Amino acid sequence: MPKVIVNGQEIELKAGEKLNGIQAAQRAGVDIPHYCWHAGLTVVASCRMCLVETGTRNAETGAITMVPKLVPACQTPATDNTIFITNSEKVQQARAMVEEDLLIDHPIDCPICDKAGECLLQDYHFEHGQDERRADIRPFTSRRREMGDTVTLFIDRCVMCTRCVRFTREISGSSELMVINRGSHEEIDVFPGYPLDNKLSGNVVDLCPVGALGDKDFLYQQRVWFMKKHPGICTGCSTGCSITVEENQDTVYRLKPRTNPHVNQWWMCDEGRYGYHYVHSDKRLTGAGKLEDSDYKNVEWSHIITDLDERLRKVRGLGVVLSPHLTVEEAYLLATYARSVDPNAMIVLGHVPVVGVDETFKNGFTIRAEKCPNRRGIEAIVLHYMPKVLTVDDLLAEIAAGRINAAWVTGGYKEPWIDESTAVQFEALDTLIVQDIFSSPLWERATYQLPGAVFAEREGSYVNYADRLQNAVWAVRPPAGVRVEASVYWQLLGRPGMYKARRVLTELAGEIPYFAAAAGAVSDVGVDLKVNLLAAKSEVVSAAVS
């Protein structure tokens, strides 16, 4: 195992690992400041902030030979017996020099800059910078220029790390961003008439270490230190990017990608990033209702649940439509409840919205045409109860044949998902329960109208296109009058205490082989369910053989 020494501390790397000095130091718990390096982009070593002292230790004699000049840690491979010194006076002076250099021409815009509070220039100044301003004072504020519909640029705040330019050349492959001019007159720009308009454009704002690039969606909306961050999963498509939902007092202000080497690396698409506003749409359904004498009566949730349970125990046949927007836990709980009131309840997969085709970018990142987060998870739940994956069409056939006279339909779709001609077919039911976020032709025909939650309000797991199960926690409370699906099912089942996603997941992982890998702890990058499927398959085969 290769050994690397960081500030005298020896750390062991795994065989074959290719790390640079910054990454090796991270393993040792040491943060080497840096601007231009990013694990997802080529190494340019131009900011010079990560300068360290390096050397080698003789494997036999232990003698140490240091390189006389500073080197950037980002371009120095951490191989066996490499030494890194990140805290010597020489290193500290170099950092202070770079920091001072970047501030010479930097507008002191902190009071009006979005990045304040999460700005590397600020942070490093306090940690590593000079104590006093020594360069000529030039009070000025940054000029601004638009990069496109999603991103704006505060030109003079830029520190020329070129992460954004490299992103458009290496990741999105669209090459809209460029550097213009030479020397200290360099600026970031777009070619006139060719704005930044690729579907991954928002990522350049994540990459920008300072407040130069700004999200137009987020500009001046909220100070970052007021926001709380919650790990979540984007529900825009079946890629299932790991994200962070950032909110203050139950208002979501922005989504950011979370690093996940198995799913989205460091990126997310604009559709997902900026597509959260429906969380706070004034068209959200609130207030549960029951149809009585052709009119909807507002009913207390506690009442409606008791009422529902009574009613459902008397139906002839129950059908349940599990939306691919439900979490795995919610789908499992609802299906379990349905079977408890009707042992032959029909469980079907809800509408799976598909828009266009999969779109893959230069580095392999893909925006998928399947615009829901959990079809695979729902299918697995359905298959646990039914011989095959049945759909709404199958349910409608049963309704038409008179074998089913009650149905519970879950929605949660951002866009309209059911038309009049399909909704009309549900009219044959005696009891129709619709749990959704926006009104629809089906909602208008419901016997019980239950307003449901959106992704930011749910806690549970989703299974993406590659059979990876990932967890999300709730970030904001739902609007008044809305109860999250999971808590409704929990109460219907008469389970004690509060709904806890983790416990439900363990329970269903024990019952349904597809989810077996999720029975134990699930890390923040999720778990590949296929791992156990192979094991399960081989068990089936050996069982069949023996």
Partner 1 sequence: MSTAEHVLTDEMIAEIKSYFPRYPTRQAVTLPALHIVNERLREVPLQAVVEIAELLGLAPAEVQDTLSFYGFFKQGAPHGEVRAWVCRSISCALRGGEEVLEHMCHVAGIEPGETTADGKLTLEFAECLGACDFAPCMLAGKTLHKDLTKETGEQFVKQVRGSR
Partner 2 sequence: MAKFEPVLLANVDNPDSHTLKVYEASGGYKAMKRALTEMTPVAVIDLVKSSNLRGRGGAGFPTGLKWSFLPKDHPGPIYMCINADESEPGTFNNRILMEEDPHQVIEGIIIGCFATRAQTAYIYLRYEYPLSYDRLQGAIDECYKAGYLGKNILGKEFSLDIYLHRGAAAYICGEETGLIESLEGKRAWPRIKPPFPAVEGVFRKPTVVNNIETMACVTQILARGADWFKSIGIPADPKNPRDPGSYGPKLYCLSGHVNKPGCYEAPLGITCRQLIDEFGGGVWKGRKAKAAIPGGISMGLLSEAELDTPLDFAGPGRVGCLGLGTAAVVVLDETVSMVDFLHNSCRFFAHESCGQCTPCREGTEWSLRMLDRIKAGKGRLRDLDLLLEIGDTIGIIPGTTICGLSDGAAWPIKNAIRKFRGEFEEYIKRTNPTGYMVTDAVDALPILAAH
Helix (H, G, I), strand (E, B) or coil at 354: strand
Residue 177 within binding range of partner 1, rule CB under 8 A = yes
Rounded least distance, CB 181 to partner 1, Å? 5
Residue 18 within binding range of partner 2, rule CB under 8 A = no
| Nearest residue to 438 via CA among 271, 318, 330, 325 | 325
Q: Which stretch binds partner 2 (CB under 8 A): 182-190, 297-305, 382-390, 518-526?
A: 182-190
Residue 293 within binding range of partner 2, rule CB under 8 A = no
- 62: number of Cβ within 10 Å: 8
Task: Report the partner that residue 81 touches, choosing among partner 1, partner 2, none (CB closer than 5 to 8 A by kind).
Answer: none
Rounded least distance, CB 94 to partner 2, Å? 6
Among 16, 60, 126, 184, binds partner 2 (CB under 8 A): 184
Task: Report the partner that residue 354 touches, choosing among partner 1, partner 2, none (CB closer than 5 to 8 A by kind).
Answer: none
Residue 205 within binding range of partner 2, rule CB under 8 A = no
Residue 191 within binding range of partner 1, rule CB under 8 A = yes
Among 11, 151, 190, 529, binds partner 1 (CB under 8 A): 190
Q: Which residue has the tokens 């010194």?
A: 85
Q: How deeply is 420 buried, as exposed, middle or buried, from its count of CB atoms within 10 A (0-12, 13-18, 19+)? A: exposed
Residue 166 within binding range of partner 2, rule CB under 8 A = no
Bridge partners, 65 (sequence order): 56
Residue 64 within binding range of partner 1, rule CB under 8 A = no
CB 300 within 8 A of CB 451: no
How many Cα atoms sit within 13 Å of 510 on the Cβ side? 6
Rounded least distance, CB 154 to partner 2, Å? 18
Task: Report the partner that residue 230 touches, choosing among partner 1, partner 2, none (CB closer than 5 to 8 A by kind).
Answer: none
CA gap 135, 97 in Å, rounded: 12
Instruction: Give the amino acid at 440.
Output: S
Among 135, 219, 401, 541, binds partner 2 (CB under 8 A): 135
- 246: number of Cβ within 10 Å: 21
Residue number, 135 or 180, with CB nearest to partner 1:
180
Rounded least distance, CB 208 to partner 1, Å? 17
Site track 78-107 with partner 2 (rule: CB under 8 A), x = hit: ---------------xx--xx--xx-xx--
Residue 163 within binding range of partner 2, rule CB under 8 A = no
Q: Which residue has the tokens 């590949």?
A: 528
Interior/surface letters 65-96, b for 16+ CB within 10 angstroms, e for the rest? eeeeebbbbbebebeebbbbbbeeeebeebbb
Bridge partners, 214 (sequence order): 152
CA gap 355, 383 in Å, rounded: 25
Among 43, 116, 178, 389, binds partner 1 (CB under 8 A): 178
Residue 174 within binding range of partner 1, rule CB under 8 A = yes
Q: Are strands 151-154 and 213-215 parallel, antiparallel or unpaired?
A: antiparallel
Compute the radius of gyration of the chain from its Cα atoms. Answer: 28
DSSP letter assigned to residue 87: S
Residue 69 within binding range of partner 1, rule CB under 8 A = no
Output the six-digit token pair for 386.
């039914």
How many residues touch partner 1 (CB under 8 A)? Answer: 16
Residues lying near partner 1 in the complex (CB under 8 A): 169, 174-182, 189-194
User: Which residues would be at the binding site for partner 2 (CB under 8 A)?
Assistant: 43-49, 51, 67, 69-72, 75, 93-94, 97-98, 101-102, 104-105, 132-138, 159-160, 179, 181-186
